[in-house]
Chain A
Amino acid sequence: MKRNYSTDELLACVMSRYIDDGENVASGANALVPQAAGLLAHFHHGPNMRFYMGQTWTNVFNVPSVQIGSLTDYKAYRGNAEYSRRHEEGFDRAFLGRKRGAFSTFFIGAIQIDRYGNLNMFGVGDDYHHLKFRAPGIVGLAHCLNFMHNIYIYATNHTKRLFVEKLDYVSAVGYGDGPDFRKKWHLAGPGPKMCVSPMAIMDFDEKTKRMRLKSVHAGFTVDQVIENTGFELLIPENVPFTEPPTDEELHILRTRVDPAGLLRG
Chain B
Amino acid sequence: MEAQKELKRKSLIIDEKEAVSCIEDGMIVAVGGFLLSSHPMALVRQMIKRGIKNLTLMPAISSSLEADLLIGTGCVKRIITSYCGAESYAPVCPLFRAFAQQGKLEVYEVDESHYYSALKAAALELPFFPDRAGVGGDFAKVNPNYKLFDDPLKGEPLLAIPPIAPDVALLYAAHSDPFGNIQPLGTGFGDRMIWLASKKVFVQVEKIIKNEEVKQFPERTAYFEVDGIVRAPYGGHPFAGPGYYTEDAEHIREYLAAAELLAKDGDRTSYDAYLDKYIYGVDTNVDYLEKVGLGHLLSLHEDIGIEGE
Contact = CB atoms under 8 A, between A and B. Distances in A.
A binds B: yes
Nearest to B243: A74
Contact of B111 (A77, A84, A138): A138
B290 interface: no
B242 interface: yes
A55 B34 contact: yes
Contacts of B34: 55, 71-72, 87
A29 B138 contact: no
Interface string B133-153: 111111101100000000000
Interface stretch (B18-26, B45-53, B86-94, B266-274): B86-94
B259 to A, nearest CB: 14
B82 A134 contact: no
B75 interface: no
Nearest to A118: B137
Contacts of A71: 34-35, 62, 87
B112 A140 contact: yes
Given A136-B92, A186-B132, A88 B116 contact: yes
B101 A29 contact: no
B221 to A, nearest CB: 13
A188 B157 CA distance: 12
Interface stretch (B188-196, B226-234, B280-288): B188-196
Nearest to A54: B186
Nearest to B96: A134
Contacts of A137: 81-85, 109-110
B171 interface: no
A138 B240 CA distance: 24
Contacts, number: 171
Contacts of B187: 55-56, 77, 84-87
Interface in B37-94: 37-38, 61-62, 81-85, 87-88, 91-93
Interface string A126-147: 0011111111111111110010
Q: Is the interface of B mostly helix, strand, loop or mixed?
A: loop
A26 to B, nearest CB: 13
A187 interface: yes
B100 A72 contact: no
B102 interface: yes
Interface size class of B (residues with CB under 8 A): 35 or more
Contacts of B139: 142, 171
Given A56-B187, A87-B187, A187-B132, A130 B103 contact: yes
Nearest to B244: A74
Nearest to A141: B111
B291 interface: no
Interface of B: 34-38, 61-62, 81-85, 87-88, 91-93, 96-98, 100-103, 106-107, 109-113, 116-117, 132-139, 141-142, 156-157, 185-190, 192-193, 222, 240, 242-243, 246-247, 302
15 contacts: A30-B88, A55-B189, A72-B34, A74-B246, A77-B242, A86-B222, A122-B109, A123-B100, A135-B92, A138-B109, A139-B83, A146-B132, A169-B141, A169-B142, A186-B157
Please provide the 6 A-B residue pairs with the shortest distance between their CB atoms, ordered closest to farther.
Answer: A140-B112, A74-B242, A72-B37, A143-B113, A143-B133, A170-B137
